[in-house]
Structure 1
Amino acid sequence: MNVPNVPLPLLDLTFGVAAFKALAVATELGVFTELSGTSATVAVFAERHGIEERPAELLLTACTALGLLLRDDAGAYRNTDLSEEFLVRGRPYYFGGWVTLFDQRDYPALSGLAEALRGNRPVSWDPQRQESMFVPADPVMVEHFWEGMHALSAFTASRLSERLDLGEVRSVLDVGGGGGAFAVELCRCLPELRVTIFDLPFVCELTRPRITAAGLADRVDLVGGDFFTDPLPEGHDIVLLSNILHDWGEADAQRILTGCAKALPRGGALIICESFVDDDKRGPLSAALISLTMLLDTWGRNYTVPEYTAWLAERGLETERVVCLEGAPTARALIARKTRT
């Protein structure tokens, strides 16, 4: 029996915008932090936020339908396990920073996606006035970007620690590691590890309080610099690039890899954490959509493992394996070893 096509999947796609905004508004209001370990009825929620019960009920119903809240028989709402772990501010893997960043920066820019397609240029900032999106004068960048990057990276860092045997590693250079997620997570998992974060000077200053708050000021060094113009610190067992290379076009991505290769001793390892596009360019969906949003902000895209492997081989590094980081926002890690100088 043939099942006719129906347009419901297209309806779901169009309402994806509303689904995201429900999450973003609930995050902005602190709904999930407010309901941590407790519950509230529509009336209580509306009174707390100074809004009418109708809009309060619509938002809570939407969050429930999205699997972010549960509603009991008495009409009280509470967090699901997912929200309790990842959307309550202060939790180790709080993801709200990324939600807020996307809402503040990429969501408005998506209205210019057609312009970005036609012009092959970013639309969230003006390339005529600045060199890249990474400037201290951008208030969204300063206020939200690094917290968003921390949210995107913290869970990935925990997965990386679990999947790789890093017991013999004593030092890691985290290139573009602003936000400190990998430095904090790796140091927590490996008591003998030291990490150097190399990033723009203003980013290092924004990251320093997070490192201090984690009690790791004696194990994490912050070195300010530009990986396009300044040599990277040498003498580390591992050089890490997480969600860095997709921000840049092919030529610039290869320049970054050249600097990383120079900083590594022979036998040292380079780890690239990214949402790799499949070799056949058919997916996965998350990597393809992230790659599409690169049109809004950068000159880059998500690359494939064979592309990285070829670039690394030209610089004396041999790809050893690609590790799947299940459930992590950055889905896989490519590990390459420096075999020649």
Structure 2
Amino acid sequence: MKHQVTPLPLMELTSGVYAFKALALATELELFTDLSGGRAGTAADFAERHGLAQRPAELLLTACTALGLLRLDSDGTYSNTPMSEEFLVRGKPYYFGGWITVVDRHEYPAYLKLADSLRGNHPTTWDVERQESLFAPDDPVVAEHFWRGMHSLSAYTAHLLAGALDFAKVDRLLDVGGGGGAFGVELCRRYPHLRVTVFDLPFVCDLTRPWVAAAGLDDRIAFTAGDFFTDRLPAGHDAVLLSNILHDWGESDVQRILKTCAVALPPGGLLLICESFVADDKQGPPLAALMSLNMLAETWGRNYTAAEYSAWLRAAGLEPDGVTPFDGPGANGVLVARKH
């Protein structure tokens, strides 16, 4: 019998808005944090805690249960699933809620104007007439949520990077655009010999220092404030990391950044590009392609392919050594290149 095409996949795509807003609202209400450590509660408990009627409380809890975020036991109590306990409880090392908040408050409104981005070829998450880039220190949403959200998105991705590559022979790492400090913190925890310098805009360094201090790593993670478009990168590092930096910029700017990094490296030094790479045939993978579309609303860039990066790296005097893949929320692999 011939396979029948149905519109159900389209309905699943369409219902993404319902699923995301349920997740975002439950995160905002700190539902998963309230249920952490094995605690459980009924719909009535949740309604009372937040001053809700029984009906909306039960509807949100049912949605979260159907999405695999909660477990409903036979006694009528809800508790966290292992995923929620690990990634949606505030204060946990790989808490993902910060990124959910960024998408909800920063990106979601911009998608109501995505057609404007498409027709005008410009971002809509920030005012292109008033700001030079997304990374403006006086943007209240960016200052309050963006960097915490980037740390949230990056923490588990950094954990995967630390396992995907062996940093045993890297003594000093320069994390270019490393605001939030997630990669420096995770890599220093995994590799006790490693020392990291975070290079970022002055206000981003100021935001990141307390997080590094809270991790107890301010003796191994240093900061250099600057702009990689106008300032030389600090020397004395045998590897440079660019994690989720290059997709923010157009092709000519990406090539400028790569050349700046190449100048800062000694012969034999490594450049690490940690990104969500679009496949060379540009047919996927879905998350990388959708995050690339997200750059239409966010920046002047996109997610690039490994082939594109490899050509630009060779032009900058670096020899690419292929992509080491992994399945992270903020990246799907790391491309390693060595300076001649």
Q: Same fold (TM over 0.5)?
A: yes
**Percent pairwise identity:** 65
Aligned partner of 2:237 in structure 1 is 236
Tell me the alpha carbon deviations over residues 5-60 of structure 1, each in whole angstroms, 9 at most, x when there is no partner.
Answer: 11111111111011100000000000010111211100011001111110000000
Deviation of 1:217 (Å) = 1.0
Aligned to 1:306: 307
CA distance in 2 between partners of 1:156 and 1:270 (Å) = 18
- Other-structure match for 1:177: 178
Distance in 2 separating the partners of 1:128 and 1:108: 18
Q: C-alpha root-mean-square deviation of aligned residues, in Å? A: 0.8
Return the TM-score normalized by structure 2: 0.98
Residues 1:15 and 2:15 are matched in the alignment: yes
Runs of 4+ off more than 4 Å: none
Q: Specify the SS of the correspondent of 1:2.
A: coil
Equivalent position of 2:109 in the other structure: 108
Correspondence for 2:79: 78
Q: 1:87-236 to 2 correspondence within 5 Å?
A: 87-236=88-237
Cα distance in 1, alignment partners of residues 240 and 330 from structure 2:
20
1:292 partnered with 2:322: no
Do the aligned partners of 2:244 and 2:330 also contact (CA within 8 Å) in 1?
no
Deviation of the 1:329 alpha carbon: 2.9
- The answer to whether the Cα contact below 8 Å between 1:116 and 1:122 also exists between their aligned partners in 2 is yes
Alignment partners' CA distance in 2, 1:122 and 1:24: 23
CA contact under 8 A between 2:196 and 2:221: conserved in structure 1? yes
Gaps spanning 5+ residues in structure 2: where?
none
The whole-number CA distance in structure 2 between the counterparts of 1:26 and 1:330 is: 25
Residue number in structure 2 paired with 1:317: 318
Inter-partner Cα distance in structure 1 for 2:102 and 2:202: 21
Distance 1:327-1:300 versus aligned 2 partners, 3 A rule: closer
* In structure 1, C-alpha distance between the alignment counterparts of 2:18 and 2:11, rounded to whole Å: 11
Q: C-alpha displacement at 1:270, in angstroms?
A: 0.3
Q: Indicate the SS of the match to 1:321.
A: strand
Moved more, 146-155 or 197-206: 146-155
Q: Which stretch shifts more, 323-332 or 275-284?
A: 323-332
- 2:19 & 2:207 partners in 1: Cα distance? 32
Give the deviation of 1:172 after TM superposition.
0.3
Kindly indicate whether the alpha-carbon contact (under 8 Å) linking 1:159 and 1:328 is maintained by their aligned counterparts in 2.
no
Hey, what's the Cα distance between the residues in 2 that align with 1:60 and 1:242? 36
Taking the aligned partners of 1:155 and 1:323, their CA distance within structure 2 comes to 16
The structural deviation recorded for 1:321 is 2.4
Alignment deviations for residues 101-144 of structure 1 (CA, whole Å, 9 cap, x no partner) = 11111101001111100000111112111110101101111111
- Structure 1 residue ranges without an equivalent (≥5): none
Separation in 1, partners of 2:322, 2:288: 19
Secondary structure (helix, strand or coil) at the match of 2:281 reads: coil
Contact 1:152 1:330 in 2 (8 A): no
- How far off is 1:166 after superposition? 1.0
8 Å Cα contact 2:97/2:152 also seen in 1: yes
Contact 2:274–2:334, Cα closer than 8 Å, also in 1: yes
Report the count of equivalent residues: 339
Counterpart code for 2:66: A
Report the counterpart of residue 261 of structure 1 in structure 2.
Answer: 262
1:55 aligned residue = 56
Query: Which residue of structure 1 lines up, in the alignment, with residue 35 of structure 2?
Result: 35
Stretch moving more, 90-99 or 322-331: 322-331
CA distance in 2: counterparts of 1:252 and 1:152, whole angstroms: 24
